[in-house]
Amino acid sequence: MDFRGKQAIYLQIGEYIFEQILLKQYPMGEKIPSIRDLAVALEVNPNTVQRTYDFLQQKEIIQIKRGIGYFVSNDAEDKILLFRREQFIETELPNVFRNLHLLKIDFEDLKAQYQQYIQENFNTKI
pLDDT tens-digit readout, 53-94: 999 999 999 999 999 999 999 999 999 999 999 999 999 999
Rounded to whole angstroms, what are the CA distances from 44 to 40, 55, 119? 7, 16, 36
Residues 87-109, mean pLDDT to the nearest whole number: 94
Domain 9-74 has CATH 1.10.10.10: yes
In this prediction, residue 124 carries a pLDDT of 63
- Nearest to residue 81, comparing CAs of 31, 12, 18, 29? 18
pTM for this entry: 0.79
Name the pLDDT band for 5 (thresholds 50, 70, 90). Answer: confident
Contacts 24+ apart (CB under 8 A), 62-71: 62/17, 62/32, 68/31, 69/31, 69/32, 69/34, 70/31, 70/32, 70/34, 70/35, 71/29, 71/30, 71/31, 71/32
In this prediction, residue 3 carries a pLDDT of 83
Name the pLDDT band for 24 (thresholds 50, 70, 90). Answer: very high
Cβ-Cβ contacts under 8 Å for 96 (sequence gap 6 or more): none
- Cα gap 20→108, rounded to integer Å: 32
Residues 32-59, mean pLDDT to the nearest whole number: 97
In this prediction, residue 112 carries a pLDDT of 93
